[in-house]
Homo-oligomer: A and B are copies of this chain.
Amino acid sequence: MKYPTTIQNLIECFEHLPGIGEKTAERLALATLDFDEEVIDIFAKSLKDTKKKIKRCSRCNNLAESELCDVCKDDTRDHEILCVVENPKNIILFEKLGTFHGYYHVIDGLISPLDGINPEDVHIPQLIDRIQKENIKEVILALKPSVEGETTSLYISKLLNNTNVLVSKIAHGVPLGADMDYVDSLTLELALENRKKISNDD
């Protein structure tokens, strides 16, 4: 004995989402019954539109509805500074601060040899290409303060060792082990201000 098929299907869809178990999926699916029809239409349409329209920016790999994302479309920013982030969500965090005026590059993951994730898998060759082509003067690494994040930062800084590019990483104001998504704005702002040049000597 189960719910009617349509509800059962909807519950299974909600179960596909991260962190949503059987009970929660059931609760969410039943909650949609109380939504206005209008909201349901927008919900269904948004799901399809997001899947269909959202691409990656051809320049920085951010989420975008067109060839370039909103940041890359903005020509008034500082073309010489590039902030390297793990995923598009991190860009939103920095943009909420409003104090960074360069561009971004999303590498989409961190180097993790144990998990078989190599520099090519996280768009590092594209990053290096872009730095050279666009004549970037400063690269700020804003990656997660974990083993993988540090490895990735070090790897990128080594690749840029013999160039004129100034490589820095955001300060360890970001609490160690924390998820970048949950860092508060003030900590992030301090971390951005106190970024330090990576030295390959230590």
Contact = CB atoms under 8 A, between A and B. Distances in A.
A31 B91 CA distance: 16
A56 to B, nearest CB: 10
So how many copies of this chain end up in the complex?
2
Interface stretch (A40-48, A111-119, A126-134, A151-159): A40-48
B6 A49 contact: yes
B182 A23 contact: yes
Given A32-B51, A50-B7, A51-B35, A181 B23 contact: yes
B17 A31 contact: yes
A45 to B, nearest CB: 7
Contacts of A65: 4-6
A79 to B, nearest CB: 18
A75 interface: no
Contact of A3 (B1, B31, B63): B63
Nearest to A7: B50
4 closest residue pairs by CB, A with B: A1-B95, A44-B44, A10-B46, A13-B43
Interface of A: 1-7, 9-10, 13, 16-20, 23-24, 26-33, 35, 37, 39-54, 63-65, 69-71, 88-89, 92, 95-96, 98, 181-182
